Structure 1
Amino acid sequence: MKAALLFVVASLALASCAPAAKAPPATTARAPAPRVPMIEAVPPPRPLPVMPLVTGWMDQPATPGTWEYRRGPLGTIATFAADRPYGVVLVCPADAPGLVLFGVSISGPGERGVHIRTETADRPLRTRPGTDTGARMAMVEIAANDPLLDAMALSKGRFAVEVDGYAPLYLPSHAEVSRVIEDCR
């Protein structure tokens, strides 16, 4: 019996030297790690070209060209020669005081719609075809006391002439315009 007791004590001694068995790890429900999406490097957008803000005809660049004033036996005339297919003329005829002829050089027969825009006035007109020194002119008769003429002469330095079928002209209100108008009054 001593031998059996010795065996039990030796077994217990050996068991106490052995490490204790670990409990199995507790399982925790972990969410799977999120997938990192593959993002390609996108270059920054190119800046848009700077465009001038155009809100109306007054913001348009002036039409290149110059006014000329002449006095002759048939009356006074102011002409604007533009780098366009047509130009503009204001005439105070000597034989018709109180009347200003406004003309645009055009090609082709028939009447044309002409729209004159100023800072304070805006008026559509119809031309009557005519000829002047071989060039085709479409003319509009305007009474010399018409407020449209004053608006053309004093319109913040410019007025617009739009002719059906042609690009608009943005003309300076130079002294030549005022001189022809005053000659007819």
Structure 2
Amino acid sequence: MPRRPARRPLAFLALALWGVLALLAACDSQPKTDPERQAKAYALYEGYKKDFPEVTEIRPEEALKRWQDGGVVFIDARSEAERAVSTLPGAVSEQAYLAAPDRFAGKQAVIYCTIGYRSGVLVQKLAAKGMAAANLAAGIVGWLHAGGTLVDASGAPTRRVHVYGRTWDLAPLAYTAVW
């Protein structure tokens, strides 16, 4: 009777595991350049917009210009923990805005989150109450790619940004992302 070659189940298992890990790493890799990161952020935003197509939006470049002219109030739709890391300069929380919306009369309300989903939901919610607001396209990540700055809880400039999770780690490479 011919002799069969010895099986090597551990070697096969190790090779299969390596292949799975390599595939996962390839699928989970973040873009390596700022233009690629910006493009991916906008691609995510475009996908999110489908859930609220009637919501008015504003591009970060336009929001930056209006902010420099003093014509906007930024409303941060993110959690308190995210806001504790950094915000857009002068931003207020949803609660602070809703407590005294007249305080911001004459300014365009621009709502943001990491990329634009939570802020889109909030713009929709405010519209149902008769309150006009615009969703910041690509959120805080888009703002940074447009050249906007951030401040920490004390109001000092910072290069730290809370990006909600690994999927949304798309800020410019000059920033330190946390989640």
Q: Shorter-chain-normalised TM-score: which range?
A: under 0.3
Q: Which has the higher contact order (CA 8 A, sep 6+)?
A: 2
**Taking structure 1 as the reference length, what is the TM-score of the superposition?**
0.27
Which has more radius of gyration? 1
The structure with the largest strand share of the pair is: 1
